[in-house]
Every structure is written in structure tokens, then in C-alpha cells.
Chain A
Amino acid sequence: MVANGDAPARGTAAAAASLRRRRTTSGAAAGGGASSMLQFYTDEAAGRKMSPNTVLIMSIGFIAVVAMLHVFGKLYRTAN
């Protein structure tokens, strides 16, 4: 793929739109860094679909769970 995938996507809006149609979003979104060269074609998968908010809420929930673990660990240790 083109080095950072952003070159032909510049220019006029028409060019950019048509080029974006030809290439997957992740190609155009590739910037510098490790996986810019590894073109991940992230398209619809057959599995369950989630909305992005679900991901964020679940991760915040996970953080809360681990924080609770720490808190309860400290509490029970002082009780013992």
C-alpha cells in the first residue's frame, strides 16, 4: 500500500471521495506507526455487532471492578 495511505486522498473533494470509495477506511486512516503498514481491513464481521458506546462503558466497568477488588482487598486485610 502507499506509504502512509494519505497521499492520493488529498486534493479535491471529488478525488478524495472517489479514492475513499476505492479503498477501505483503514487504508486511508493509516498513519505513522506500527500498524500503518499492516493494513487491517476492518469491515463488518458476521458476529454480534456492538456500538462503540458499549465498548467504552464495558471498559469503564472493568476498571471499576478492578478498583473495587483493590479496595476490598485492603479492607479485608486490615480487618484480618
Chain B
Amino acid sequence: MVRSSQALQLFRLVAALMPSVRRADRTIQFRQRALYTGLSVSVFLVCSHLPLYGTNFTSTAADPLYYVRTILASSRGTLMELGVAPIVTAGTVMQLLAGSGLLGRVDQSVREDRELMDAGRKALALAIAVGEAAAHVALGAYGAVGPFNSALIVLQLVSASAIVVFIEDLLEKGYGLRGASAVSLLAATSTCGKVMWHAFSPVTINTGRGPEFEGLVLAAVHRAFLGADKLVATLLRQHLPNMTQLLATGVVMLTAVFLEGLRVPLPLRHTDGRRGRGTTTTIFPIKLLYTSTMPVVLHSAVVSFLYMVSQLLHRGQFLGARLLGTWKDAVPVGGLAYYVTPPAGLAHVAADPAHAVVYVLLLLASCAMLSRAWVEASGSSAKDVVRQIADQRLAVQGGREGDVYSKLKRYIPTAALLGGLCVGGLTILADTTGAIGSGTGILLAATTVYNLVDNFKKQD
């Protein structure tokens, strides 16, 4: 038996202490799985609307993390302030550690190694949660809070993150709907919740025209009784959700779904002599969006890291800091940080067209490059896929050995590149038209729902 790496054994103590959800011992029925998924997602939603206790918001300062919120499914000032960030970060770190060999040889097919990695990942997620929560409180994100309240806030945030960790565990161990990973489910739910809220919120706000419903559909119906011109005014109102936003959201979502469906099917057949109704074939589709929404997610991660560094250095006032980015009230107004920020609307594009052009070019270029890099990093390059196909004893229908590789090599790099560009372009479209929940969020949500429905059709 292959000895698992020594470094991984360090996690043994952690693994013994970390509780985990029991794996489902038989396939759970669809209805039960839907119920579990629905409940878990509802818990998450409730937590992301429940405000933290003990905060002391003295002013509504601009939110420096605004752009990453959607991807991380976090809601400012609530229990889910950290969103899924701890889990995603922990997972990435573990993946990098395993891939780079720092933990010695980690054999993924050895069950013991898997258990240790899993426990390590959970523990790391909790540790990250503690760190991020403490950082949020220390940096004054909640106003000036005393020591008791600070501890209470950190405790709430860490507990909420623990809930997210275990819900993710629950969904991945066979109790959740198949076809979507837990993190993407939660992020998608967060976005869909926002869209629904903008459309149907019954909260009334006092505007100059009297109390109005925040939800566009309700407000439109309410105003329709007062006459056509009032209706148009409501549909186009500025400070509350309006028609263009909702339309833009719809357009982006439809485009995302359309792009998801574009794929090159590669018919494969079994080569291990199955008996039965002739040669059974499966189709391996090479999707246009080969790397899904990863390029934009990675781009956002890099950008938010840049923001953090630039904001920290900004207090320093040396030349490098100014190149990285100059800030005014938590909004970048110069340097690299400025050029990677989306322009805040058509008026700004007109005022500073260079910014818009540079932003678009940077985004598209980085999406294309990140997409190509991600193919290698995640083990879905042509070579890896060939190996997996061979492992499962499949072969290209009506072809020889080398055919699979050449076919894949023809399509996969192009798909990755084009897919990255499409995803970047869609994000730009969404951000400039003001779609609800940011382009990335809608893209993620559309992709997740598409995969869920797809899986549902194929399996149940």
C-alpha cells in the first residue's frame, strides 16, 4: 500500500476533532434532496439578512468590498458578512498545497488522505473565518465597538461561517441536489434573492411622490391605477429599482443561458466490450464556456487583493503606492486600481473614455489569460481529459488511439480562450447596463441553475 505523505499526518489530530456530516449510505430520493437543499439555502438566506448584534454604525461609509460581495455571497453588516469566502479560500489553499507538493505526495485515491485533506480544509476555513472576522472588527467596519461587543461580533461571524462549512459538507455528501456545488448554489441563491427583492419587495419608501413600493413590479401595478404617465415615471425611477435594471438583468441571464448551451459534442464509446444493446455511447461535450465563470471570479479575486494592498499602502504616500492606486473616500480615483474599476455609468464613460477603454481591454485580456491558465491548473487540459477518458475505458467513436488527444487539443484551448472572452464581455455588459447583482453574480446564478436543470433532466 502506498504510504501517504508524512505532512498530511499532521492533520490527524484535526481530523479527530472536526465533526463532519455522515455520508449518505444510499441514494437519497430527489424530493428529500430538494428539501435538504431548500432548507440549507433558506438558512443561508435568513442569515444573510439577519443583522449582527453589537454593531455601532455611525456612518454609512462606502463599501470597499462592494464588487466582490456578489461572488462571495456576502451581505454587509449581517451574519453572512464573510459569505463563502472562508470555504473558497481554504479550498483553494488546500488545492494549491496538494498540487504544489508542499504536503508531500498526496494520493487522492487513498481514502485516508482524502479524509485528512477534508478535515484540514474545514479547520483552515474556520481559522480563516476567525482571522477575517477579527480583521473586519479591528479595521472599524462596524464602527467603534467595545471589547465585549467585538468578541460577540467575532463569535457571531465565526459561528455563521461554521454553519456555511457544515451546510457545504451536507450538500456535498449526497444530501443536496446533484448538478451544482454548494458554494455556487449559495452564491446563486444570494443573487436570485436580490433580483426577487428588487422586483417584489413590499417595503415602502417615502419618495417625493409619496410612499412607493421598493419592488418594481408592485410599484408599477400600484401606480398603473393612477394613469399612464405616472406609470412610466415609476418604471424609470432613479433611486429605486427600475425597468432598465430588470430588463438588463433578464437580457444578461438569457445570454448566459444561451452561451452555456453552446458546445461541441464528442461522441465516445465503451471499449471494454459491453454486452447489451450494441455499443453504448456517451457524449462528452466541450463547452464554449469551458472554464465556466472562473476567469471573472479569479479576476475579481486579483482585483480585490489589489484594492486591499493599494488601500493599505495609500496611507504610506510613496511613489509605488500612487501608481497602484489613489483613493478618495474608499473609491479609487487614480493609478492601477482606478483602471480596473468599472466606470460608474455612461456619464462617466463620456467624461473619461480612456478609463473605459483600458478597463475593457484589461478585463478581456485577463479573462482570456486566466481562462487558459485555469485549464492547466484545474486539471482539465487536453492531456488530463485524455487520461480520464482512458481511465473510464472510453474512446472516440470510430477513431483510433491518438484521435482523442488531437480532437481535444484542437478544441479545448480555443474554447477556454473564447469562453473567457465571452464571460468577460458579458460581465462588462451587465455592469454597464446596471443589471441587478453585478454581472458576475448573474452569470454564476444562470450557470448554476442551468446545470441543476440539466442534471435533473438527465438523471431523474
In contact, A50 and B392 (Cβ under 8 angstroms): no
Within 8 A of A (CB), among B267-312: 268, 270, 274, 276, 280-287, 289-294, 297
* Cβ–Cβ < 8 Å partners of A33 in chain B: 180-181, 183-185, 187-188, 292-293, 444, 447-448
In contact, B448 and A14 (Cβ under 8 angstroms): no
CA distance A55 to B159 in the complex (A): 12
* Distance from A51 Cβ to chain B, minimum over Cβ atoms (Å): 6
In contact, B292 and A45 (Cβ under 8 angstroms): no
By beta carbon, the residue of chain A nearest B79 is: A66
In contact, B175 and A40 (Cβ under 8 angstroms): no
Known: A6-B451, A33-B183, A35-B181. A50 touches B22 (CB 8 A): yes
Known: A33-B180, A34-B184, A63-B43. A42 touches B118 (CB 8 A): yes
Question: In this assembly, does A79 line the interface, its C-beta being within 8 Å of a C-beta of chain B?
Answer: no
* Cβ–Cβ < 8 Å partners of A39 in chain B: 95, 108, 379
In contact, A40 and B39 (Cβ under 8 angstroms): no
* Distance from A59 Cβ to chain B, minimum over Cβ atoms (Å): 4
Known: A6-B179, A31-B455. A43 touches B21 (CB 8 A): no
CA distance A50 to B324 in the complex (A): 48
CA distance A4 to B283 in the complex (A): 13
Binding site for B on A (CB under 8 A): 1-4, 6-8, 10-12, 14-16, 18-19, 22, 24-26, 28-52, 55-56, 58-60, 62-63, 66-67, 69-70, 73
Chain B, residues 49-80, CB within 8 Å of chain A (1/0): the string is 01101000000000000000001000000010
In contact, A66 and B50 (Cβ under 8 angstroms): yes
Known: A26-B172, A43-B115, A45-B119. A32 touches B282 (CB 8 A): no
By beta carbon, the residue of chain A nearest B256 is: A32
* Distance from B75 Cβ to chain A, minimum over Cβ atoms (Å): 14
In contact, B91 and A40 (Cβ under 8 angstroms): yes
Give the B interface residue count (CB, 8 A).
99
In contact, B385 and A45 (Cβ under 8 angstroms): no
In contact, A31 and B452 (Cβ under 8 angstroms): yes
* Distance from A53 Cβ to chain B, minimum over Cβ atoms (Å): 9
Contact of B21 among A7, A15, A51 (CB under 8 A): A51
* Distance from A46 Cβ to chain B, minimum over Cβ atoms (Å): 5
In contact, A48 and B19 (Cβ under 8 angstroms): yes
Q: Chain B interface mostly helix, strand, loop or mixed?
A: helix
Contact of A2 among B19, B51, B284 (CB under 8 A): B284
* Distance from B131 Cβ to chain A, minimum over Cβ atoms (Å): 20
By beta carbon, the residue of chain B nearest A70 is: B53
12 further interface pairs, Cβ-Cβ under 8 Å (given A32-B450, A38-B92): A26-B172, A26-B181, A29-B178, A30-B181, A35-B88, A37-B292, A40-B181, A45-B118, A46-B12, A50-B21, A55-B21, A58-B163
In contact, A55 and B167 (Cβ under 8 angstroms): yes
CA distance A1 to B51 in the complex (A): 39
Contact of B380 among A3, A12, A14, A18 (CB under 8 A): A3
Within 8 A of A (CB), among B1-46: 12, 15-23, 36, 39-40, 43, 46
* Cβ–Cβ < 8 Å partners of A1 in chain B: 378-380, 384, 388
* Cβ–Cβ < 8 Å partners of A52 in chain B: 21-22, 36, 170, 173, 175
Cβ contacts A to B, 25 pairs, < 8 Å: A1-B378, A3-B290, A8-B284, A11-B282, A14-B280, A15-B270, A18-B392, A25-B172, A25-B173, A26-B181, A29-B176, A31-B179, A32-B448, A33-B183, A34-B293, A35-B88, A37-B292, A40-B91, A47-B18, A47-B119, A48-B18, A49-B20, A50-B20, A52-B175, A70-B51
